[in-house]
Amino acid sequence: MSGIAYESKMSDAEGLMWRVEKDPHLSSTFGNLSFLDRAPDFDAFRRRLERAAMVIPRLRQVVRSSPGNIAPPTWVDDSEFAIDSHLRRFALPAPADERAVLDLAAAIVAEPFDRQRPLWQFTLVEGLIDGRAALIQKMHHAIADGESGVQLALQFLDFERDAAPPAMPDADTVDAATEQASVGDTDPVEVVRELLAATLRVPVGVARQVRDLLADPAQIPAAGAAAADTLRGIAGQLGDVDGARSPLWTERSLRRRLEITSAPFQSTKAAANALGGTLNTAFMTIATDAVSRYHRELGAPVDDLRASMAISTRTADSGANAFTLVRMLVPTGELAIDERFRVIHETIDTAVEASRSATLDSLAALASTLPTSVVTRLARQQAQTIDFATSNVKGSPLPVYVAGAKLMSNHAVGPLGGVAFNLTLLSYDGRLDMGVNTDRAAVTEPEMLRRFIDEAVGDLVAFAD
């Protein structure tokens, strides 16, 4: 088993991500692009995925929404589940270089899921230069966040090239897993209980007050000062309606461009320690320094931009999603990278502390009491306050294999959610592999942005000595 506490009903945060996709710009689908040293044994890989779906019922379940959204969406078994609907295999026409794979991955991850089927997909791409292959994973955020997605991957990854495949689970194991994670038709009594539970999580008076704030944002400061800490935090989030600050990244579209790069793990961590911060600080410094150079190069320098960072809240009892989003203003004026690092270190600490009273869970619990149209409009409004998004995910420190093929690099493709680009870092085998998922209408020079990320990495790791 995966060790993740799957529930038959979506959490408030998962339900929020599911509902706001009424606006396609707010899709929470994410992906992962892995380059392999050779093509894996396809039949063996198929069997591993089939086994994974047996022991993790979430992989063979679909979402059922409650009438009027008065209760959280639930997960139910897909009576027509077939592993071959979630696994594709093909070869790109020669010469199949890295760029061709990146473009394919960007297109696959951007394509909306069929909501009548389980929300995941793998695409194996063969025929790359030098006999290499690539694996493109796509998953809806309602199934997993970055960390639990890595745990799911352990169902089909090995630590040796010729590892013996695990035994297929017996019927009792499959039945036990299914019973734990499945739910039947929604009982009307249960719907009422869910509605009452939602009311208890967010007092009716608070919900009504926030509805009033949405109708009249001018009342936010007064309401926030008079309410409890949670309401003050939520009101602060809702009252933050300043637009994203980039003079360049003003347009949004559904067109995507993916760039990838890597940084040395030990040197980056050593530099962070030498400068008195953490790997998270180093990562945000690299991103900020790169966007600073990007704006100066294109003749549009800017003093600061607004960034978001996904922060893990995972504990031993967490479910499939355990994170919150922290927003902050980062300095993008012309600064030495060590000075930028120190400012960002303080900025992150302040932002994390300020977000404690307005976590994603508390905001989502409140959103569960509001109509989908209102929630979607509010989410889009908040997305318009952010210039770029970042996330840092821990991966395997050791080499791993997929059905006999060694994984050479592992790049996450984070969701945009209405921002100009998402930079997600995934540690793997002594490297920090990065995926730069960009909105092509906003970031018109994605190769330049990736080049400036590389330059920022070089400047930062110089402090490791």
Q: Are residues 270 and 182 in the same domain?
A: no
User: Ramachandran region of residue 127, left (φ > 0), alpha (ψ -120 to 50) or beta?
Assistant: left
Tell me the pLDDT band of 216, cut-offs 50, 70 and 90: low
HSE at residue 217, side-chain half, CA atoms within 13 A, is 9
> For 260-282, what is each residue's pLDDT tens digit?
999 999 999 999 999 999 999 99
What's phi and psi for 294, nearest 5 deg? -60, -45
Do 295 and 149 share a domain, yes or no? no
For 321-330, letters b (16+ CB in 10 Å) and e give bbbbbbbbeb
In a domain, 352, yes or no: yes
In sequence order, the 6+-apart residues with CB closer than 8 A to the CB of 219 are: 212, 213
Report, as an integer, the average pLDDT of 78-102: 92
Please enumerate in sequence order all residues whose Cβ is within 8 A of that of 464, keeping only pairs 6 or more positions apart, or say none.
266, 267, 268, 270, 271, 274
Q: What is the CATH number of the domain that holds 130?
A: 3.30.559.10
- Same domain assignment for residues 166 and 29: yes
Please give the average per-residue pLDDT across 214-220, as a whole number.
50
Ranked by mean pLDDT, the top range of 17-21, 70-74, 161-165 is: 161-165
- pLDDT at residue 154, rounded to an integer: 83
Average the pLDDT over 299-325 and give the result. 79
Distance CA 35, CA 226 (A): 54
- Give residue 387's pLDDT: 96
Residue 403 lies in a domain: no
What pLDDT score was predicted for residue 173? Answer: 66
- Are both 65 and 170 inside the same structural domain? yes
User: Does residue 282 share a domain with residue 183?
Assistant: no
Q: Is residue 93 part of a domain?
A: yes
Confidence label for 5 from pLDDT (cuts 50, 70 and 90): low
pLDDT at 197: 43
Residue 231: inside a domain: no
Based on the domain organization, do 176 and 274 belong to the same domain? no
What is the per-residue pLDDT for 82?
95
Contact in structure between 20 and 379 (CB atoms under 8 Å): yes
Return the higher-pLDDT residue of 252 and 18.
252
Question: Would you say 141 and 122 are in contact if contact means Cβ atoms under 8 Å apart?
Answer: no
Judged by average pLDDT, the poorest of 144-148, 170-174, 398-402, 421-425 is 170-174
What domain count does the chain have?
Answer: 2
- DSSP class of residue 158 equals B
Q: Would you say residue 154 lies in a domain?
A: yes
User: Which whole-number Å values give the CA distances from 141 to 107, 144, 209, in the listed order?
Assistant: 18, 5, 30
DSSP conformation class of 68: G
* Structural tokens at position 90: 């093909």
Q: Confidence band (pLDDT; 50, 70, 90) for 33?
A: very high
Task: Give the model confidence (pLDDT) of 423-463 as tens digits.
Answer: 999 999 999 999 999 999 999 999 999 999 999 999 999 99
Q: Supply the pLDDT for residue 374.
A: 76
Residue 117 has pLDDT above 50, yes or no: yes
Q: Which pLDDT value is given to residue 7?
A: 78
pLDDT band at residue 410 under the 50/70/90 scheme: very high
Cα–Cα dist 413/89, whole Å: 20
Residue 8 clears pLDDT 90, i.e. is over it: no
- Residue 210 covered by a domain: no
Average confidence score pLDDT of the chain: 83
pLDDT class of 175 with cuts at 50, 70, 90: low
Alpha-carbon Rg for the chain in angstroms = 22
Q: Contact at 8 Å (CB) between 412 and 30?
A: yes
Per-residue model confidence (pLDDT) at position 286: 98
Please name the amino acid found at residue 125: V
162 and 258 belong to one structural domain: no
Task: Return the closest-CA partner of residue 289 out of 131, 134, 449, 461.
Answer: 449
| Inside any domain, residue 183 | yes
Residue 164 pLDDT class (50, 70, 90 cuts): very high
At 352 the pLDDT is 84
Residue 304: phi, psi to the nearest 5?
-155, 155
pLDDT at 261: 98
The Cβ of residue 292 has, within 10 Å, a number of other Cβ atoms equal to 25
pLDDT of residue 234: 46
pLDDT at 201 over 50: no
pLDDT at position 21 is 87
pLDDT of 203 > 50? The answer is no
For tokens 């998922």, what's the residue?
A: 437
What is the Cα 256 distance to its own chain's centre? Answer: 16
Q: State whether 83 and 181 are in the same domain.
A: yes
pLDDT digits (tens, 9 = 90+) for 340-376: 999 999 999 898 887 665 556 666 666 666 777 777 8
CB neighbours of residue 223 within 10 Å: 20
Residue located via tokens 């990838």: 260
What beta strand segments (E) does 274-377 contain? Answer: 304-312, 323-331
Query: H or E segment at 431?
Result: strand 431-439
Residue 266, domain CATH: 3.30.559.30
* 249 and 346 belong to one structural domain: yes
Contacts of 421 (CB under 8 A, 6+ apart): 388, 389, 436, 437, 438, 439, 442, 443, 446, 449
Does one domain contain both 251 and 107?
A: no
d(CA 73, CA 191): 11
Query: Which pLDDT band, with edges at 50, 70 and 90, does 465 fall under?
Result: confident
Confidence of residue 181 (pLDDT cuts 50, 70, 90): low
What are the start-end ranges of the H helices in 139-278?
146-153, 171-181, 188-201, 204-215, 220-226, 229-239, 265-274
Whether residue 1 has pLDDT greater than 60? no
Paired residues of 106 in beta bridges: none
**Does any domain span residue 62?**
yes
Nearest to 357 by CA among 236, 185, 267: 236
> In this predicted structure, what is the pLDDT of residue 116?
92
Please tell me the predicted confidence (pLDDT) of residue 122: 97
Distance CA(333)–CA(288), nearest Å, equals: 10
Q: pTM score, two decimals?
A: 0.84
Clarify whether residues 160 and 279 are in a common domain.
Answer: no
In terms of pLDDT, which residue wins out, 358 or 128?
128
pLDDT at residue 399 greater than cutoff 80: yes
Mean pLDDT for the stretch of residues 21-27: 89
Q: Among 187, 202, 230, where does a domain finish?
A: 187
The last residue of a domain, from among 170, 187, 204: 187
**End-to-end alpha carbon distance in the chain:** 43
Q: Output the pLDDT for position 362.
A: 63
Same domain, 169 and 253: no
Using DSSP's 3-state secondary structure scheme, residue 183 falls into: coil
Residue range 377-393, pLDDT digits in tens: 877 888 889 999 999 98
- Choosing from 159, 187, 215, the residue where a domain stops is 187
What is the three-state SS of 84-126?
HHCEEEEEEEEEECHHHHHHHHHHHHHCCCCCCCCCEEEEEEE
Range of the domain at 83: 12-187
Q: H or E element: which one contains 62?
A: strand 61-64
Per-residue pLDDT of 218-255, as tens digits, reads 554 555 443 344 444 444 544 455 778 999 999 999 99
